[in-house]
Structure formats: structure tokens, C-alpha cells
Amino acid sequence: MSFLFLLWGGIFLGLMVSMNGQLAMFLNIFEVSFIVHITGAILLISYIKLLKKEKISIIGAPLYVYFVGFLGVAIVAASSLCAKYIGAATTMALSVTGQLFVSTIIDHFGWFHVSIVKFHPKRIPAYGIILAGLLLMIYS
């Protein structure tokens, strides 16, 4: 079930990047990021307060994890700008390659309390194929 959920997340991400790129034709990237985040915040707060009837609490987590808000703004801004100029597919290919690289390091060292999954040299051909695919996307 989680694989299907993740597949849907990827589909939504592809749609979001494409739509953000289109929105960036009318607004600057910071306005796009604001619209995306304020819309999401309003919908989530409405869901939590009106449907779930739960209290919202943002205390208790380590301070560094709140940096994720800045990361969200940076991701939306970067993907909006890139999709506008290089298209959604190349934007996503670059994004996924970056995500894979950083996620491999995070998994290897177990940063942010994720399960440790050590890097194994047997993965190098898979990374090479991904890099080759990225280069084909960029130069074709």
C-alpha cells in the first residue's frame, strides 16, 4: 500500500511542478511559492480543525527540523523556475537525481533518525544508469 501511496505522490509532484511552471509565467517564483504554501496551509488547517477537530501543536520537535519550511519554499521556487525554462520532465529528472544522491548519504549515515541503509558498491551501476538517463534528458 505504501508503494502505491508513494507512486501517487510522485504523480502529484509531476503535476505540481508542471502547474507551478505555468503559474511562474504570470507570477515571480516567490509569489508562486507563497500561493502554493498558503493554499496548502489553509487546506490542512481547515482539515485538522473542522473535520478532525484536533488541536494544532508545533512544539516538541528539535529546532532544526523546522528548517523544512524553508526547504519547501526553495523546492517550489526552484521547480517553478526550472519547469518554466527547461520543462517539467528535465526538471523532475534533475530533482530526482539530487534527491537520490542526498538520500543515499542520509541513509548511509542514518541522519535525521532514518533507518541506516549502508551504501553498497553493487548500487553503482544503478546510479550510473540514472546518471546516463539524466544526461540523455538534458542533452536530447
| Domain ranges for the chain | 2-138
Q: Please tell me whether the overall predicted TM-score, pTM, comes out greater than 0.75 for this model.
A: yes
Q: Angle 46-7-75 (CA atoms, 0-180°, nearest 5)?
A: 65
* Per-residue model confidence as pLDDT tens digits over 76-98: 999 999 999 999 999 999 999 99
pLDDT of residue 64: 87
pLDDT category at 2 given cuts 50, 70, 90 is confident
pLDDT of residue 120: 96
Report how far residue 58's alpha carbon sits from residue 61's, in angstroms, rounded to the nearest whole number: 8
Q: Tell me the Cα Rg of the chain.
A: 18
* Per-residue model confidence as pLDDT tens digits over 102-114: 999 999 999 999 9
Report how far residue 66's alpha carbon sits from residue 58's, in angstroms, rounded to the nearest whole number: 9
Residue 1 above 80 pLDDT?
no
- Residue 129 is placed in which grid cell? 544508469
